[in-house]
Every structure is written in structure tokens, then in C-alpha cells.
Chains A and B, each alone.
Chain A
Amino acid sequence: MNRLDGIRGGTPGQDHNARSIAALAANPACDRRAILDAAAIDKPLLMKRLRFDDRWGQSPFAIQRNQQFTDLVKANGAAHLLRLLRELLDLPIEEAGYVNLEDVGGHEGHLARHGHTRRVIKQTAEGLGRATILDRPLLRLDVAGAQVYLEPDVIAFQLGGMFHIVAIKSFAILDDQADTPKVSAAAREAAVYVHALRDVVGRDLVSHDVILVCPKDFTNAPTATTVDVRHQLVTLARQLSRLTRIDALLDRLPEGFSLDLETLSSGEIEAAVAAIPARYAPQCLSACELSHLCRKEAHLNEQVDALGRIVRDDLGGIESVTTALRVATPGEPVADDQAEIAERLRHVARIYDEAVA
């Protein structure tokens, strides 16, 4: 781990949370993000040093609205949640125990809180105690060899020996249809909790179906659906194991590589960031703090990545827009491995010319 700390230098690291870990899974192919995250580089600070006037992330208004809705769902011993679980999963009436795992007296250090969470969850798994709903568990995850605590705003609950993660989100579900990008973001985040909870009680005891609680239609009334996060779990596991094999990525960096935000000049920071290969895609805009920087870079370099993954994949292997245009022009010489794509592009160009002629 010393290499990673060396990269960060004296600047304090940025804590991970479920959102940031979920974002890892949003663009698994990006080395830049992987290295920055493994070294716990403070990405918002980095953007500030490079004078990107960025207001990335949730607006204060959205955060407040989310908090209010969460409070409503959890009020009165999570009475709303209990009703929803009874309706959705036939939770038996007797199963009404609610324990707030944050209540640990004065011992509020992460380690003590996590220990308390583990103990109660394990007891519950063994059928001891009367807890059904476990609010605010403090979970832990191994990210690139570092122990990351997940600040909880999530509920775990047990039914028939299986734990489920409950995610509460304030975007509306209209006519049982939620906005899909938001649902996928929520699913990625919930998958992080499923993964971490599996660390505590074992794989088989945590369901891959998470329960998503959202406001119904245009009201504030909570409603619930289950979301299968198996796919997100696979991506997350792949990404996490990639971080633990970060050494291979680090080997490709120049000797003595540093990204110490406090000592480097902004020019040096820019050069250092540019030295790590990125894989920009428009999806980054909603998932990564660096997106404005990477987008600018992709545009400057005329990278086809900036046009989205579909275009990139269609152009299989061609990396810049200029190359693509050249290859598409009849008569231009093309390399052997580009012959096939050249033929396709020229065909499309012909159709286009005929259409606009």
C-alpha cells in the first residue's frame, strides 16, 4: 500500500462511501479512476486545483429531500417500511422488531460501531434476539487493501433467515415505472451494501434482491419494489478485485509518480492526471467527479470515446475521429486490420452521400 500512499503524498485522503464505490462499477475499464480511487485521491479537491468550477454530485436540495423522505419511511419504528414489507413479502405480523444499530452509547468510533453491527447481525442470523429490521448498520469493505467503512443510511432486514438490503430513494415511481438511470444508480449503490453484508454473514444469507422504497406517483406516500442486483454485484466484484490488483496498473506509471495535491502546481497535477490512461464515456458525467476534465481531454484528442460506448464499439479499434474520417474516405490507404471497418464506413458514407445529394 505504500506506493499508493506515496502517490497521495501529504494530502489527506478522501473517504469512500457507497456512492463512490458504486461509481467505481460505473466505468470498470478506466485506469485513471481505478488508480485515483485506490490512492484515495480527493477528486473534488483535484478538480478545484485544476480550476474546474465543478458542482458535481447531488444538489443540497436533492440531499435534503432524500433525507426528509427517508425520515418519513423510518418514522415510528419504520412503520411505513413494515407495512410495505408485509404487503410485498408477506412478512409475518410477529416479525416487527426494529433495532437502530447506531445506538451504541458513547462508543461512537467506527471500529466499535462496526463491531456492534457485526455482533447484532450475527446474533440475528443465528436466530437470537428479536430484530427484524436493522437500521443503520455500519459495514466495512476492503477497497484496494484499505478498510473502508460505509456510512450507513440503509436498512438490513431479515425474513426467513435471509437478509435483504433496503434502499430508500426520493425519486418517484410513476405507475410502477421508475426512471431507469436512477434505478440503476440505486441498484449499484445497494449492491455495494449487499456485498459488504455478505462479508459479515456469508454469501448465502444475503439476498441479491434489494428492496427499493420510493415515493409513489406524485405523492409522498412510500411504495416498494424489489430490484435484482446480481449483475451489479458481478461488476462490483470485478472492479474491487481489479483494485486489489492495482500493482499491475501502478507498474505502468513513471517512477516516482506523485499526485500530491498540496505540493504540486496545477500544471504538474494536470500532467500527472494525463499520464494515467482514461476511458471517457458520456456515462461518466453522472458517475465521476473527473468527468468534465476527461470529456475536455477526449474532445481535444478527438477520441471516439466521447461519442459514447456504442459508437466506440462500432468503430472497433479506431480511436480518433480524424482516423475514422480518413479511413472512411475512398482511396485513402488503410492498414490491414482496418480493412474491414474501412469497408463498412465507406459503405455508410456512400449511403449518406446519396441520401443528402
Chain B
Amino acid sequence: MGKLRTAIRQATAAGRHAEARALRARLREAERQWDTGVEQPSAQPPLVPVREQVHRALTLLGAPTAAKMIVAVDESFFGGQMANTQLTSLRRDEEKSYRSAPGARPYYLCAALTSELLSPARGLLALSTWELPQRIIGPLSPRTDFLTSAIRLAEHLMRLESASTGAFRLLGQLAQNIPGGGDGFGPADPAKVIAAAGAELAVHQERDQMDRREAAARAADRLKPVERLFGTGLKSVRSA
């Protein structure tokens, strides 16, 4: 398909319109075959509780992530179905459960903390089992986390025997915003995404890690265990 696209571009550029039209038809046909050829995830998986769906998506993503993305990954990689709204009160519920019986559960869906104020970063969900620096959001962290997640999704796709079109499409959408990752049209090439995201990650990683470690040390020093998971701020102090 890549070759076809190049041929179309060349034909259009050279003004060979009839040829370009014919090539475009072939491309459409190829895309159709590709779409049906890739196996759809097998029927609905047995009902998994929402918190477990979120847990498996976050485990795959490997970084604090916004609800929308968690839902998208759950759907295209695990065939799950969640609505964004199911995630809105999740963090609060988990905090309540943690406060009533700290550590009773093997994991909690918790907050990521901003590096400056150690307050919960708006809209992000994280796992309590992650190391503290991984749950800190410094200025560069949204970018490094985005790149890390893209790499992890791509690696996962390369491991799978068969993956849904949706999964490739999702990776394609992410890849278009990574320099050299892909043009955003059609399915992504996981190997290319890994290389491109890795290259940009190398630029930011050191500075980002520094910020995260510094803030994590501060958090470990100053925050109570519950605040380390759910952040500080007037609200949590008051309800504590």
C-alpha cells in the first residue's frame, strides 16, 4: 500500500491523472482487503469489572494516561467496551476504598502528581504499583509518557499474532504526531513508530527523569502514604 501511495503521488505530480485515478482505485481495494483480512478480536470477552479493564490498559500503556485514551486502548487492544463516564468517579472511589482499608487491595487506580505542587494532575489515571517517579508529571512528562506509551503499544502489536484494525489505526493516530512516525493515513508500521518515538524520547528522557526523581523525593519526604497516591491539595487535606 505504501508503494501504491508513492506511485499515486508521482502520477499526480506528473499530471498523469488517468493513471492516478486507476491507482487510487487499486489502493482502495487493497485497503478494503486489509481491513477485512485482519482478524477482529473474538467475540465479547467475559465481563471484566471496569477497574480491571482500566488496570490492564494502564499496564499496557505503562504511564499515567487520560480516560479517553484508556478507553480507546481497552477497546482496540482488548475488545473491551467502556464509556468515558464510567471512569469519572473512579479515582474518588479508589481513594475512599484506600482510606477505609489502606492496602487491602493488590492495586489501586490512583492519581499522577504534578512535579511542582504534588497535586493530582487533572484527568490522569495511574497505578499504585508503579514507582513514585513514574507517577510524577513534570513539564516534559506528558511528552515522554506519550512517546513511551506509543512504543509500548507498537511493541505489543509486534508480539501479537493478529491484532485488530482498530489497534493499528489507533497507533497510526498517535504516530502522526511523532516526527518520522508516519503520516497518519492508513495503518501504522510498528517498527517505524518504535524507532521514531525512541529517537525523540532520547532527547527528553534525561531531563524528564531528573525532574521526576527530584519531585518524587520531595513527595516521599513530605506526603502521607494516602497523599502519595492521591495527591495533596486542600480537598484531600480537609477530608483526611
Contacts and interface: CB of A to CB of B under 8 A. Distances in A.
A98 B139 contact: yes
B119 A106 contact: yes
A129 B200 CA distance: 20
A97 B139 CA distance: 5
B102 to A, nearest CB: 21
A77 B233 contact: no
A129 B232 contact: no
A83 B119 CA distance: 28
Contact of B121 (A80, A93, A100, A107): A100
A334 interface: no
B166 interface: no
Contacts of B146: 76-77, 79
Given A76-B146, A106-B233, A83 B211 contact: no
A102 B122 contact: yes
B119 A105 contact: yes
Interface in B124-143: 138-143
B207 interface: yes
Interface stretch (B3-11, B92-100, B173-181): B173-181
Contacts of A120: 116
A130 B234 CA distance: 26
A179 interface: no
A76 B69 contact: yes
A148 to B, nearest CB: 24
B159 interface: no
A94 interface: yes
B203 A105 contact: no
Contacts of B140: 96-98, 130
B80 interface: no
A136 to B, nearest CB: 9
Interface in B169-201: 174, 176-177, 179, 184, 200
B139 A105 contact: no
Nearest to B122: A103
B142 A105 contact: no
Contacts of B105: none
Contacts of A86: 179
Contact of B69 (A75, A82, A96, A130): A75
B68 A71 contact: yes
Nearest to A100: B122
A71 B71 CA distance: 15
A87 to B, nearest CB: 10
Interface of B: 66, 68-69, 114, 116-122, 138-143, 145-146, 174, 176-177, 179, 184, 200, 203-204, 207, 211, 231-238
Interface of A: 71, 75-80, 82-83, 86, 93-94, 96-100, 102-107, 120, 129-132, 221
21 contacts: A76-B177, A77-B145, A79-B146, A79-B177, A83-B179, A93-B203, A96-B200, A96-B203, A96-B204, A97-B139, A98-B140, A99-B139, A102-B122, A103-B114, A103-B117, A105-B235, A106-B119, A106-B236, A106-B238, A131-B139, A132-B139
